[in-house]
Chain A
Amino acid sequence: MVGDWVSVRARPGPVVSYNAMTELLARIAQRTDPAAFHELYQSYGPRVKVYLVRRGVDAATAEDLAQETLLTVWRRAALFSSAKGSASTWIFTIARNLWIDRLRKEVPWQELPAAHAAETSPEPLPDEAVAESEVQLRVRAALAELPVEQQRVIELAYLEGLSHGEIAARLGLPLGTVKSRVRIAYQRLRAAVEDLK
């Protein structure tokens, strides 16, 4: 069922426009604009659900957490700062944290930093918002250009939620090889955007 939903009926999502998403968040923050939320939900709700399903969350819980993620966005839109990261980065961290919170509810030592939200956000300058959108585009392009074996370990970590040890077992590789692929992939991604920052 889940497989059908993801692979057969799903289609590639439309390309995310960073400035448009930042604008939507601003409309939600300033005017609690339901139309803006509707648009944001259409773009991210399904992706967050697919992300969670890929991580092994059952469909009902994934639906639930995707809603919770977008509701958190709705409630905290005023705290979003495009100077600190794109809407996608913010939403990704919220979804990930909600899932970890659910998994590890009882662990008192786990306090995940809320990437953007910890400090009060100053008004982003327009050029900062543009720069962040370009950063995010570059990261996407650089991901697509990674050698396949490096893409694979990155995807297994983020999308399937596997630890390095589990990736090693899945691919039949030594743990050290997995770790070095992750490190090299990270270096390449960072190098691809180095001139921007």
Chain B
Amino acid sequence: MTITHHLGADTLISFAAGTLSGALSAVAAAHIALCPHCRAELVWCERIGAALLEGLPTPPPATVEAAVRAVPQPAAPNPARLGGNAFNPILRLARDDFADVAWRRIGVGLWHRPLPLQGQGSLQLIKAAPGASVPEHGHGGGELTLILRGAMSDATGRYVSGDVADLDQDIEHTPVADAGAGCVCAIANEVPTRFRGLLARLLQPWHGL
């Protein structure tokens, strides 16, 4: 897998700072799990957080003494809990060619699966048959699209498995799935997507895009 489309620096900073909203950070985490480049960049973003942490003042020692006294005896290290990136929940859905995903048809050659999410935004998988297009849409907020299988193209380029499209809200686009393999992707929206056109308006009320 050669990944050429990465997360933007502003998105990585938000992710490192822990301020990226739920849906976006879920997709960002899945891309980071796949992408050594963005993993390395994320470490840089975390170093910035660490530098700021070091610059913070320390309160009077008395507070510290009390806290240290309260520390219980050590338990054995528990590395089993640190599953790491192989257990990313979005990537896990892709196993056995998405066998566990209950797709719902939402148009010609187009299926989706909303993923439950607390808080802001929406998160879903989209499956597009070869050549199928997702209706033209703009974004009220940020959108992250991670390609999980196949490829898709839009005005900003061609995206293959592992690539992430990190688009600003001023971009409107009409992604088209690859003629050969079609496309499965995970899409996170900061706010619900606004579709243009009649088909989109008909679809929107019931598929929740």
Contact = CB atoms under 8 A, between A and B. Distances in A.
Contact of A41 (B33, B55, B67): B67
Interface stretch (B5-13, B105-113, B128-136, B149-157): B5-13
A35 to B, nearest CB: 10
B57 to A, nearest CB: 4
Contacts of A119: 84
A140 B59 contact: no
Query: Chain B interface secondary structure, helix, strand, loop or mixed?
Result: helix
Given A107-B26, A113-B29, A183-B10, A85 B46 contact: yes
A110 B22 contact: yes
Interface in A149-197: 154-155, 157-159, 161-166, 175-176, 179, 182-183, 186-187, 189-190
A156 B142 CA distance: 19
A77 B77 CA distance: 8
B52 A143 contact: yes
Contacts of A187: 9
B183 interface: no
Given A86-B47, A89-B46, A163-B20, A13 B57 contact: yes
Interface in B55-94: 55-61, 63-64, 67-68, 70-72, 74-79, 82-85, 87-90
Contacts of B42: 113, 115
Interface in A1-40: 5-6, 9-16, 32, 37-38
A104 B118 contact: yes
Given A38-B68, A92-B53, A182 B9 contact: yes
A108 to B, nearest CB: 6
Interface of A: 5-6, 9-16, 32, 37-38, 41-51, 54, 63, 66-67, 70-71, 74-79, 84-86, 88-89, 91-93, 95-97, 99-100, 104, 106-115, 117-120, 135-136, 139-140, 143, 154-155, 157-159, 161-166, 175-176, 179, 182-183, 186-187, 189-190
